[in-house]
Amino acid sequence: MSKPEIHPLASVAAGAKLGNGVRVGAYAVVGEEVELGEGCAVHAHAVVQGPSQFGKNNVFHAFCVIGGDPQDYTFRSERAELAAGDGNIFREYVTISRGTQKGGGKTCLGSDNFFLAYSHVGHDCRVGSHTLFVNGATLAGHVTVEDFATIGAFCPVHQFCRIGRYAYIGASTVITQDVPPFSRVVTERETKSFGINTIGLERRGFSPERLDALKRAYHLLLRSKLNTSQAVAEMKRTLGGSSDVEELVQFIESAERGIVK
């Protein structure tokens, strides 16, 4: 494999160690005591700090900060590390913190993990292999995530919790206790429709007549004792002259995942 390729506008510390085939893009920063295995790609504007060690073929996308100082009030710049395996993908604005001395001094990641934009792994965490962190998934410090787990979008995980193998955590679920392996955990959803977007439609020039027809349609859909199919049939019978209601009916009838009511 070829020697490392470093863009002239990149900043690579003298103490960094780059394996064969490593590529570092413009304005990227590779800090002291960073070790990148062969085939790693540090895209433009990415930041990789040390002490940290990475295996082969890790990919660091723009504006991620991997190996940064732990977000801990007690941290006093003592030595703390990050260690990662092979084939991890860190998308935009992902942050992975190094460890703290009181937590063992090291954050550890396995291999083939996919960290989507804005996800975060706090200090002293242990993440296995083949995990998926969806956008905004967040681990506090000292969390353990076992192999093949999925952390859904915007899920905060409380410190010292464990996520078992093959567990699935649905979007926007707050985790404050351990999640058993093989389980599916999703917060109860209370999303409801409250009728038409009156102010927004008025601002877009909808006439009182159009608004009235839509209000009547939504009353049938949400406030009557009719089920969805019956409400649609009643809309067709009584409000068929409204193109807006016809659009609503077509939308409902073409829904493959149901509609929010």
Which tens digits make up the pLDDT trace of 174-198?
A: 999 999 899 999 988 777 888 999 9
> Which candidate, 136, 161, 134, places its Cα nearest to that of 150?
134
Mean pLDDT on 87-102: 96
Tokens coding 6? 């470093």
- Residues belonging to the active site: 123-124, 141
Share of the chain above pLDDT 70, in %: 100
> Which candidate, 60, 256, 254, places its Cα nearest to that of 82?
60
Q: According to the model, what pLDDT value does residue 1 have?
A: 63
Picking from 101-105, 128-132, 161-165, which range would have the lowest pLDDT averaged per residue? 101-105
For 211-233, give the DSSP string.
HHHHHHHHIIIIISS--HHHHHH
Homologous superfamily of 198-254: Udp N-acetylglucosamine O-acyltransferase, C-terminal domain (1.20.1180.10)
Residues near 132 by Cβ (< 8 Å), separated by ≥ 6?
A: 113, 114, 116, 149, 150, 151
- Phi first, then psi, for residue 249 (nearest 5°) are -60, -45
Neighbouring CB atoms inside 10 A of 209's CB total 10
Which tens digits make up the pLDDT trace of 19-44?
A: 999 999 999 999 999 999 999 999 99
**Chain center to CA of 196:** 31
Q: Which residues belong to CATH 2.160.10.10 in the chain? A: 5-185
Q: How far apart are CA 44 and CA 74, in angstroms?
A: 32
Mean pLDDT on 74-91: 95
Total-model pTM: 0.86
Q: How far apart are CA 99 and CA 214, in angstroms?
A: 56
Mean pLDDT on 150-162: 96
Q: Which residues belong to CATH 1.20.1180.10 in the chain? A: 198-254
CATH of 5-185, one of 2.160.10.10, 1.10.10.10, 3.50.50.60, 2.40.50.140: 2.160.10.10
Tokens coding 86? 């092979």
